[in-house]
Amino acid sequence: MKSAAGNKKIESLLKLVQKEFNADEIVEALHEIREIARDEKNPALVKICRLCYEYIGENGHFDIEFVDDEEGIEMTDLEYLLELMLHSDREVNMNEIREIRDLLNEELYG
């Protein structure tokens, strides 16, 4: 995200997710982040937010098995995605966001 407001919203959501998984609050926050991404004209973040809240709405969780335990990353898939979104200006992070987007697309519409 480019804006301070967008990053603050992502950071708030990240703190919430680290405490508990409350699907309703997460979906609401993703809707808000999506609107900020739309204002920033960032279609990749707009789409990933939509796919995330659709996936959570259908499944009640966000366990997509993207984060590989062998890599030593000690966070959930959603925490990892939010971290990527915080630094979406880095191309390597955008590439991973696109991978997650494709995975969610396949899961939801495959």
20-29: Cβ within 8 A, 24+ apart:
21/61, 21/62, 21/78, 23/56, 23/57, 23/60, 23/61, 26/53, 26/56, 26/62, 26/78, 27/53, 27/56, 27/57
pLDDT tens-digit profile of 33-48? 999 999 999 999 999 9
Q: Give the predicted TM-score (pTM) of the model.
A: 0.93
pLDDT tens-digit profile of 17-71? 999 999 999 999 999 999 999 999 999 999 999 999 999 999 999 999 998 765 6
